[in-house]
């Protein structure tokens, strides 16, 4: 089984399964994808994701504001907490720092990220972190404001192994997307070989970043399997082992993500994954 730990189900392209979300999810389920974490990029957007979740038992959602989202008024810690509670989010985010575009001033990004980290700590929820070309500042804010016992995930990771290891030391997981399959992504494939398997997650970030052999097309949750296959090839293990372990990791991190799975089965998944 597989989990798509990061997808934007409210943004799927009209070219994806005829623009039909149900078809896109069914296509993923047919390949063994058992759960989907639908990611919020605005607090208002969490309500739309909650409506999607109400129709699909295997969808869970986050609540947060993307670092490059331009806002007239910044949300307070209370605003983030209230949104997450109202919509029964299993995670805070995505939030973080992005210095590649700098469309939102860095000081605004820093303050926004710090508030999200504090909201996550208050709620006891993991945080989904977007980080791009901001290694030291991202790690500094995580160290200052996050609780290692709660942790989070650096999603769609494209930074170096040293940053990954530093994040793992702070209780974080590393999530790999379709980028790991790209021809010029050898450094990420090295990371896929080196990072402990019990600290990896897999994602699509759909509708963005479709993996090989689908590059150039809108991404969809079914293609998280290609990410797992690439990791399996790099590590010399079966794709089933990657699926089992990353699913166990997902449930270990996002503890509120599987209310329909009884506690005994959830613990079996975690134990099975950690035994590999």
Burial class (CB in 10 A: 0-12, 13-18, 19+), 120: buried
Q: Would you say residue 274 has pLDDT above 60?
A: no
Q: Is 251 annotated as a binding residue?
A: no
Arithmetic mean of pLDDT, 52-69: 97
Q: Which pLDDT belongs to residue 276?
A: 46
Q: Is 205 annotated as a binding residue?
A: yes
Q: How many CA atoms lie within 13 A of 223 on its CB side?
A: 24
Q: Is 8 annotated as a binding residue?
A: yes
Q: Is 155 annotated as a binding residue?
A: yes
Q: Which pLDDT belongs to residue 12?
A: 87
Q: Which pLDDT belongs to residue 272?
A: 59
Q: Which pLDDT belongs to residue 44?
A: 95
Give residue 19's domain range: 2-274
Q: Would you say residue 275 has pLDDT above 60?
A: no
Name the β-bridge partners of 63.
92
CATH value at residue 45:
3.20.20.140
Q: What is the mean pLDDT of the chain?
A: 93
DSSP 159: S
Q: Which residues contact 68 (CB under 8 A, 6 or more apart)?
A: 98, 101, 103, 104
Q: What is the CA radius of gyration of the chain?
A: 17
Q: Is 94 annotated as a binding residue?
A: yes
62 vs 68: CA distance, rounded Å: 17
At 113-154, the pLDDT tens digits run 999 999 999 999 999 999 999 999 999 999 999 999 999 999
Q: What is the percentage of the chain residues whose pLDDT exceeds 90?
A: 88
Q: Which pLDDT belongs to residue 16?
A: 80
At 244-266, the pLDDT tens digits run 999 999 999 999 996 554 455 55
Domains in the chain: how many in total? 1
Arithmetic mean of pLDDT, 78-103: 96
- Give the three-class secondary structure for 76: coil
């Amino acid at each position: 089984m597989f989990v798509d730990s990061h997808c934007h189900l409210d943004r799927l392209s009209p070219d994806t399964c005829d623009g039909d979300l149900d078809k896109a999810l069914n296509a993923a389920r047919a390949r063994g994808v058992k759960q989907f974490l639908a990611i919020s990029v605005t607090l208002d957007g969490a309500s739309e994701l909650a409506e999607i979740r109400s129709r699909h038992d295997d969808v869970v959602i986050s609540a947060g504001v993307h670092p490059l989202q331009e806002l007239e008024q910044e949300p307070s810690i209370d605003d983030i907490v209230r949104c997450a509670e109202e919509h029964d989010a299993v995670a805070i985010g995505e939030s973080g720092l992005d210095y590649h575009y700098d469309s939102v001033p860095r000081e605004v990004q820093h303050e926004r990220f710090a508030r999200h980290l504090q909201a996550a700590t208050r709620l006891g929820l993991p945080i989904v972190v977007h980080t791009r070309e901001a290694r030291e500042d991202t790690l500094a804010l995580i160290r200052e404001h996050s609780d290692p016992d709660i942790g989070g995930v650096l999603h769609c990771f494209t930074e170096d192994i040293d940053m990954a290891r530093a994040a793992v030391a702070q209780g974080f997981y590393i999530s790999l997307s379709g980028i790991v399959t790209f021809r010029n992504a050898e450094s990420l494939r090295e990371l896929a070989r080196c990072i402990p398997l019990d600290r990896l997650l897999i994602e699509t970030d759909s509708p963005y970043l479709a993996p090989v052999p689908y590059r150039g097309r809108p991404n969809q949750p079914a293609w998280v399997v290609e990410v797992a296959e690439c990791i399996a090839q790099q590590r010399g293990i079966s794709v089933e082992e990657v699926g089992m372990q990353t699913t166990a990791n997902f449930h270990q991190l996002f503890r509120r993500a599987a209310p329909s799975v009884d506690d005994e089965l959830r613990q079996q998944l975690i134990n099975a994954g950690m035994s590999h």
